[in-house]
Structure 1
């Protein structure tokens, strides 16, 4: 989980806290024989163990890392500074891809982290340095100067304009934008209708240090948003519930131009050691399911960066818009569902009072692909909404892949809902299968006769007719194969490298499932593997991918 650690202290006091031994158990009266033995480590070490587990070598490494961060802060800013420490882990979503913004569930675990050491300021300037100063250059900004004088009435629209402005100025991908996102949105929440500040936020001198690989699909950008928000909330003594905090971080990140939900931020804020978080949205709710002994999740990097550059943001936002387009088309075609469906996830047989075959019939009414011109003609009453969606991304050359994206989204919602019950029933084999099916919905290549070829899954009428016939048959095997959660769909934001890594991993006995992590177009895959096969998996991927 993300948090702020143990209050405000001077740099030297933090370092002393990291190094101290816990003798508090011997400070009370009573005979020596009745006193508890001192525990290894002090307050800070106990906190580390509560977060990372009782792994002595790793705890030692973490203590050394935190000391390095604090010492670097002292070198850059002030050795006598009183500072707080905020942290936010990476998120690794195993099942529930591309659907949190549609109301679907996610099933993440947490790993690695971003740490911010922050010294409160008396003004609203934020000075940013990164421990990796060669890659991330120092930045500074003043919160009030980044916001318009008048109150922002529509944050989404304002961030669209701001994102376009940053793109024109060539600063759209700057790392400081994620810290700005948190600071500006938190300040905007404290303005009245006339634009006056009801509380003017104090800034900070901040040092950022991260162990999360950047552009790897592990949520490093969202972690920076969350860690910045954690620091500013503490410095300014703001009070938010965890649910409010998660929603704030999700909306704040729109500042950088993406149009996602707040699944990453929920995973970062709410995660617990040793558990998978089963998180639902609208409203936010979370259940924690213990990760089963005997299995490991391996993270393998393609070394193709999944940077949120302009073209990548356009692809991400296009897919999000396609969900909206699909829902508009379905509501036009089937007016009876209008009152039953608020979010895309509500297109579920139980909510609609139908069965899966009828849902497939509805999907069959959607075009496989459709252009903007065709949409504006077909959905004339939605012109304003469509034009607003179009502004977030470039027009896809081959049209919006409406049917494939919508089938993926509905099936992924079903998979994400099912995931927790499989874990509770100790069914890791089926859980792993969900990961692999989900990746198939993102595939852009396949192996055919030993050669990797381009692959585009189009959801044709023939495909839907077959699964409709199968699910209405009396054959248990056919019915099961046609179930909604077993349909990959066609979201198609993988890449050749991700597909290759998945195929290598899945060729090893003992691997239960593998799939991309994050938004796609590069980054990492997650592999669910029998713990006894972990070393063999590492060797296989090293030999066949990293050192072929």
Structure 2
């Protein structure tokens, strides 16, 4: 078995497979592995479901499935994180989704969701057994669920015996079609009405590149994200919150309300404004229109709309800076983004704020902000390499004293997207 070129979680899944699944009589194909990366989002938080812009990069942390194709319609799984088995059948999907979902642990529901959406898309699937492993922090704001979903789609492609393919034009499903499919899978599996940021970032990743994605048109382009003297540092608060219970859906609803009220106010002020009639999301409202009409909103909706409109502007400013290869200047915009998430969107928490404040006190940290849905998870930090040790020392000394928790510090690189391979 040649696995020396594979990432460690893929190797782990493949190595564990013979111990966890040993019934040779059920298999109809060789051993293979599939994987997909987590992501960090440089800027553009909570803009995806408002039709706005995001600027993520895939990172060198992956979710993986290592296994073999079965002769039947059963999918059997072993999770290294949960240390438990789970199984479901492809028979009866999508109609059997709700009944099967109730019988599965949370992590396995994402795989069932992907299978369900693939079947709904007309894809003929084959069952498989697989070990599920990964080194994307679970619930840490680096999109472990999206990585698992994209890896699952890759696994089904791998074990379908060539019946469907994922890629660019000429394939059964394009990368962005897979991203949208996995977004729907997450929504039905978790109950969180997530945007497409996480899945698109995972499926589109390229080494040394950030991805500017227009979440309405789904147009995207790559920007250079390599600076030999600057590192991307992800610091995990060790705080875990379920997005469904962390007011994520409430924020989405508030943005929709704000859009409707702002559109009404703009039209009342100028009934002949044809552009205002085309307003569908906060992305369509300019900063000038918001400033003129924000008093028509309740205070909480002013905050939500003000943050999203400003955040879209921040994304485009970072794009401009990256186009000039000025990664260092991006840092100041991260501080601004965190302040907006903390004070206007109100999705931060004491632990996230503590990490950002500690980072701000360390010379050589260019910028930091909370990342992900909020209420826990990670911060993203842009740090000059000579300041890495000082940041680590400051976090290790001050964070436990302030929060009673231990933080986990990791350095990430912009990395490639998903893949799969037969190994023997």
TM-score range, shorter chain: 0.7 to 0.9
Offset at residue 340 of structure 1 (A) = 2.8
Unaligned runs of 5+ in 2: 165-171, 268-272, 403-424
Which residue of 361, 364, 375 corresponds with 1:521? 375
Offset at residue 105 of structure 1 (A) = 1.6
Distance 1:128 1:362 in 2: 53
**What is the aligned partner in structure 1 of residue 347 from structure 2?**
493
Does 2:21 align with 1:77? yes
Q: 1:536 to 1:519 in 2, by over 3 A?
A: same
Which residue of 29, 43, 46 corresponds with 1:95? 43
**What is the aligned partner in structure 2 of residue 295 from structure 1?**
230
Task: Check whether the contact 2:21–2:129 (CA below 8 A) recurs between aligned residues.
Answer: yes
Tell me which structure has the larger Cα radius of gyration. Answer: 1
Offset at residue 84 of structure 1 (A) = 2.4
What's the CA shift string for 1:412-455, capped at 9, x where partnerless? Answer: 11111221111122333431111111111122xxxxxxxxxxxx
Which residue of 359, 362, 369 corresponds with 2:290? 359
What's the CA shift string for 1:221-262, capped at 9, x where partnerless? Answer: 111111111111333332111121111111221112010111
Distance 2:206 2:401 in 1: 35
Task: Check whether the contact 2:224–2:325 (CA below 8 A) recurs between aligned residues.
Answer: no
Does 2:106 align with 1:174? yes
Offset at residue 103 of structure 1 (A) = 1.8
Q: Secondary structure at the match of 2:367?
A: strand
Q: Secondary structure at the match of 1:341?
A: coil
What is the aligned-residue RMSD (CA, Å)?
2.3
Which residue of 200, 225, 239 corresponds with 1:266? 200
Distance 1:517 1:97 in 2: 7
Distance 1:66 1:86 in 2: 7
Task: Check whether the contact 1:104–1:416 (CA below 8 A) recurs between aligned residues.
Answer: no
What's the CA shift string for 1:480-501, capped at 9, x where partnerless? Answer: xxxxxxxxxx101100000001
Offset at residue 127 of structure 1 (A) = 0.8
Q: Going by fraction, where is strand more abundant, 1 or 2?
A: 2
Task: Check whether the contact 1:428–1:512 (CA below 8 A) recurs between aligned residues.
Answer: no
What's the CA shift string for 1:490-546, capped at 9, x where partnerless? Answer: 101100000001000011111111111110110110111111111111111111114
Which residue of 278, 282, 287 corresponds with 1:344? 282
Does 2:181 align with 1:248? yes
Q: 1:328 to 1:288 in 2, by over 3 A?
A: same
Which residue of 213, 217, 221 corresponds with 1:283? 217
Task: Check whether the contact 2:10–2:65 (CA below 8 A) recurs between aligned residues.
Answer: no
Q: Secondary structure at the match of 1:498?
A: helix
**What is the aligned partner in structure 2 of residue 332 from structure 1?**
264
**What is the aligned partner in structure 2 of residue 483 from structure 1?**
none
Distance 2:62 2:116 in 1: 23
Does 2:46 align with 1:147? no
Distance 2:222 2:149 in 1: 24
Does 2:53 align with 1:105? yes
Unaligned runs of 5+ in 1: 1-14, 20-44, 49-61, 150-158, 191-198, 349-355, 369-400, 444-456, 458-489
Please give the TM-score of this superposition, normalised by the length of structure 2. Answer: 0.84
Q: Secondary structure at the match of 2:87?
A: strand
| Count of residues in correspondence between the two structures | 380
Does 2:115 align with 1:216? no
Distance 2:320 2:302 in 1: 28
**What is the aligned partner in structure 2 of residue 29 from structure 1?**
none
